[in-house]
Structure 1
Amino acid sequence: MKRTPSFRRILFPVVVFLALLSSCGMGRIGTGVVVWSDSESLANGSVVWIWDQSSLQKTFTIQKTDGGSRSTIANWRIRFFNNPEEAKTFAAEFAPWKNIWGVTQKPGMAVYQQPNSTSPKVYRLGDNEDVKILGQQAQPSTEGGFTGHWDKVMTSSGYTGWCFDYFLSLYKVANNQKVVLKQGGPEDFYLRTVETNSWYPEEFRFEVAQKRINLNYFRPDYDFHFDGDKTFSLTTPPPLGSTAPAASYSFTFSDVRKINSGTFLFVCPENLMVRILNPEVTKIEVSFTEGSQTHRYLYVRLDQDIGTYISQETASRVDELNAILAYGTKLTSPIYGNMTLASDGSVTWTGFQALQPPQGIAFPQGLANTAHIYFDWFKDSQFAGDWKVFRLQFDPTAQVPEFSQVFLYRFLKGGMQMIPVSPSDLNPVKQTVLRESRIGYTIFMTFEK
């Protein structure tokens, strides 16, 4: 039958209306979070739109929230939410566990409806069966004389419940690598990890991440480690920016008491206690008593040997000096004098009277003409731009026994532009430059050819 013009006039607005509904998201039936992905292109923890559901095939039709084509996935792999905000909240809570899995070390382990062994069983695990970890109760429990945590798990059959993890090994999968986090059963993986690694102050990890390694502080002897013969050693660095000495302790213990699956008391006069702070066992709290005072320190495992980081930072500083020397060893300015640099970092600077009283205020009277250049200060992570940082440590004189100046510098127009940094623009604790100083000095010196 031929369609009449009036039918087309009715059909066209309907099609447009349906298209608008779809583009506005009103065609979605819900929002989901991927808890057990079946594709490398869809990561666990991803928030997705759910467009359709098949009760017969038990699948969802989903789409990434940033667009792309739609795909079909088994509905047990997705946590469904009517409200997008609830999905985002769950995704944030699930994030620490999205790549963590468990495998049974004891055949017949039960999955319970609630986190207690009197709750109804919903599933019984087979030997070496994998489960997805969805979360974990914060406080440990004791079941049948064993101490562990109740983990919320999902099986490959889609069952969800709680499993007591004493006989459950936990592992993390990231970048196609499997890393064991906790060995199930009587052998204590946590304790062995504490005893077989060197642990360093948490600040070390921040320095690595922010590329501001302070070689006076970032040292291999500032660590917590097991010496063998029931003895731990701890050396705590002085607070950043302090001139106080480091403090060293030795703990010889007679016994180890497992307080819970991640906390150990090493019985000694100082009551040394070590607490695991994350599933990856890369961060611990070390506490002990000294007289009436309790000390607590956060220590971490580094991703590489500490000597590797130190070598890399040392080489980086040599590279910074060589980058300047590649332009030339002599710089000159009609206003700020002449500077000569050597490959050992020594500097000779003459004719800088414009920076001294009465003409200027950057340098004091009586300052030496010789100095050493160091690359031991860094730009703050929030400080953008192409500036680099060096420090000049001037040789002592009778009038000025101690003086150093931090400079921002960059290469420009056949020379080097330098700005002395005001103390108010420095963070002396982290040894970082917070911002570009505006104290009235912009020094430009030309490289001599």
Structure 2
Amino acid sequence: MNVPNNFRTVALRRIALVLAVFLVVSCSPYIGFGVVAWSIPDHGLYAGDVVPVYIQSNIGKVYVIGAGPERAERIEVPLWQIRLYKSRSRANKAAALIETYRYTYASARIDGLPIRAKPENTARQIYRLRLDETIRIVHKGTGAPVIAGNAPLEGDWYQVLTNDGTSGWCFSYNLTLYDERDETPITDTEDEGADKFLALLFSSTWYPDHYRTMLNKNRIDIDRIQPQWGFFPGEESSVARIASAAGVKTFPYTEIIKTSEQAYRFDGTTLTAEIRRGNSLVVQYTDDRGMPDVFYFSTLDVTPDELVEMEKARRQDILDSIRTAGPRFVSGNYGVLQFLEKNRFLWSGYQLLTPSIIPAGAGGSGIAELRCFLSDDIADRYTGVLTFRFESTASRVNFLYDLSPSGLKLEQIDNANIKDSLVITRNLNPTVIFLTPEAAQPDGGF
């Protein structure tokens, strides 16, 4: 078959163009562009910088990249230290995603601090940090709260990178974050002969940190406060003690040795203590299994006894206000609920709630209590949580409640939806009860 000359010419031109592009690409000195994952300050490179990548050696496990002015210098860096992309535009987009924390690093305040696969404290551990080990902060994420002493710790989950390329998630409570560009040292201009932090360790009364957390959140769980709990460094006895709900642990020591500006080791034991900003203390020791145990303490402006009395007074004021609004509340379906003095209650005619909510044989009297608290997601709908402790069975039944001029609204809440005295979520199909003050009840209920 004869092919027209003009068609043959166009085809040859297209082939030549493809060959030319191939030759240009194959002769390019780059294999791509990389984003620096860990700063290389000796060569003027910082995390987030985009660099040309010339060679990838899987045998040596290194990249050859461009560094220095105009990226003219060629250096070798470990593969983990560079994130490789096919084009400069893709590398620039990736660099923009880490711009916020590109200069942010952190050091571990305790030995054995875990890095986890996910931002939650039950996730698999993939790395354990040594004391003062440095990691890079990649970005801040959203994860599950970290609980210590049945109270959430202050801090955030960060995606981090270690100096061997391990990537995971670490909670910030035991991290010291800093900007690598800030080279100004922290100095103490006071008398160098006096160790003010050791004096603070001995002179302060150290309570479990969850006391302060409860106070700050205005969720004071009386059952989790004991005046004898805390950390006692034993200045005179040379025996340090940790007293908690789990019992008392003692540490006879020979001397206290300063290991850093605000950290100390109790010689002759595995016990260490570090004073943090905000009058906080981290105490750590190694148990019989060789695992680190960590406890958190803080100082308070009030004593535990005062804290308990304050909370009891707050609860009593609320119960008194409910009784004043009634004291008898009536529902056509769920009977008559009466609040008496000394926080007692009488409840009759609640048969429709038995046995699904109120156990059979619970009786008609008991004590009204305020034992639980509302999570932020529920606090905008309800005033609080009322607990009815029925005397005949000693069983407790919990209700979300809202008190208004029109009456008392109760919504049953299962124990499964309460964690550490905090109502996490409402029931899927809750029973809702409306009770009207008797004086405003003209027809016997609704």
Q: Secondary structure at the match of 1:326?
A: helix
Does 2:350 correspond to 1:352?
yes
Partner of 1:272: 271
TM-score (norm: length of structure 2): 0.54
- In structure 2, do the counterparts of structure 1 residues 338 and 225 end up closer, same or farther at CA, with 3 Å as the change threshold? same
Q: Secondary structure at the match of 1:271?
A: coil
Partner of 2:253: 253
- In structure 2, do the counterparts of structure 1 residues 152 and 368 end up closer, same or farther at CA, with 3 Å as the change threshold? closer
Question: Residue 297 of structure 1 is aligned with which of 294, 297, 306?
Answer: 294
Deviation at 1:410, TM superposition (A): 1.0
Deviation at 1:293, TM superposition (A): 4.3
Deviation at 1:219, TM superposition (A): 2.4
- In structure 2, do the counterparts of structure 1 residues 423 and 262 end up closer, same or farther at CA, with 3 Å as the change threshold? same
Does 2:365 correspond to 1:370?
yes
Q: Secondary structure at the match of 2:265?
A: strand
Q: Distance in 1 between matches of 2:186 and 2:374?
A: 48
Deviation at 1:251, TM superposition (A): 2.8
Deviations 1:115-160 (A, max 9, x none): xxxxxxxxxxxxxxxxxxxxxxxxxxxxxxxxxx9x9999xxxxx9
Partner of 1:391: 387
Deviation at 1:216, TM superposition (A): 0.9
Q: Distance in 1 between matches of 2:183 and 2:404?
A: 64
Residues 330 and 339 in structure 1, CA contact (< 8 A), matched pair in contact too: yes
Q: Secondary structure at the match of 2:431?
A: coil
Question: Residue 185 of structure 1 is aligned with which of 176, 189, 192?
Answer: 192
Q: Distance in 2 between matches of 1:90 and 1:436?
A: 41
Q: Which amino acid aligns with 1:260?
A: S
* Number of positions where the alignment pairs a residue of Structure 1 with one of Structure 2: 272
Q: Which amino acid aligns with 2:196?
A: F
In the TM superposition, structure 1's runs of 4+ consecutive aligned residues that sit over 6 Å from their partners are 83-87, 90-94, 151-154
Residues 374 and 390 in structure 1, CA contact (< 8 A), matched pair in contact too: yes
Unaligned stretches of 5+ residues in structure 1: 1-82, 95-148, 155-159, 170-182, 238-245
Deviations 1:345-371 (A, max 9, x none): 1111111101115xxx21222222112
Residues 152 and 162 in structure 1, CA contact (< 8 A), matched pair in contact too: no
Partner of 1:436: 426
Residues 372 and 393 in structure 1, CA contact (< 8 A), matched pair in contact too: yes
Q: Secondary structure at the match of 1:383?
A: helix
Unaligned stretches of 5+ residues in structure 2: 1-94, 107-175, 440-446
Q: Distance in 1 between matches of 2:362 and 2:401?
A: 21
Partner of 2:321: 323
The structure with the largest helix share of the pair is: 2
- In structure 2, do the counterparts of structure 1 residues 287 and 336 end up closer, same or farther at CA, with 3 Å as the change threshold? same
Tell me the C-alpha RMSD between the 2 structures: 3.2
Q: Distance in 2 between matches of 1:324 and 1:330?
A: 10
TM-score (norm: length of structure 1): 0.54
Residues 283 and 298 in structure 1, CA contact (< 8 A), matched pair in contact too: no
- In structure 2, do the counterparts of structure 1 residues 319 and 164 end up closer, same or farther at CA, with 3 Å as the change threshold? closer
Deviation at 1:414, TM superposition (A): 2.9
Residues 222 and 235 in structure 1, CA contact (< 8 A), matched pair in contact too: yes
Does 2:330 correspond to 1:332?
yes
- In structure 2, do the counterparts of structure 1 residues 386 and 91 end up closer, same or farther at CA, with 3 Å as the change threshold? farther
Identity, % of aligned positions: 18
Does 2:375 correspond to 1:380?
yes
Q: Which amino acid aligns with 2:307?
A: Y
Q: Distance in 1 between matches of 2:179 and 2:192?
A: 18
Which segment is superposed worse, 198-207 or 312-321? 198-207
Q: Secondary structure at the match of 1:233?
A: strand
- In structure 2, do the counterparts of structure 1 residues 445 and 164 end up closer, same or farther at CA, with 3 Å as the change threshold? closer
Q: Secondary structure at the match of 1:311?
A: helix
Deviation at 1:298, TM superposition (A): 2.9
Q: Secondary structure at the match of 1:275?
A: strand
Partner of 1:143: none
Deviations 1:104-123 (A, max 9, x none): xxxxxxxxxxxxxxxxxxxx
